[in-house]
Amino acid sequence: MIKQQRVKLRYADMAPRKMRLVADTIRGLTVNEAEAQLSASPRRAAKKLLKVLQSAVANAKNNQQLKAESLIVSSIQVDGGPSLKRWLPRARGTATPILKRRSHVTLVLRESEKATPPRFNPKVVKVVKEKKAEDKEQKKVSEWEKEFSEKRSADVSKPGFFRRIFRRKSV
Q: Residues 96-107: pLDDT tens digits? A: 999 999 999 999
Are residues 159 and 89 both part of a single domain? no
Q: Express each pLDDT in 14-49 by its tens digit.
A: 999 999 999 999 999 999 999 999 999 999 999 999
Q: What pTM does this model have?
A: 0.67
Using CA atoms, how far apart are residues 59 and 52, in angstroms rounded to an integer?
11
Using CA atoms, how far apart are residues 55 and 118, in angstroms rounded to an integer?
18
Are residues 128 and 113 both part of a single domain? no
Are residues 80 and 147 both part of a single domain? no
Q: Which of 98, 117, 136 lies at the terminal end of a domain, its last residue?
A: 117
pLDDT band at 80 (very low <50, low <70, confident <90, very high): very high
Amino acid identity of residue 30, one-letter, is T
Number of domains in the chain: 2
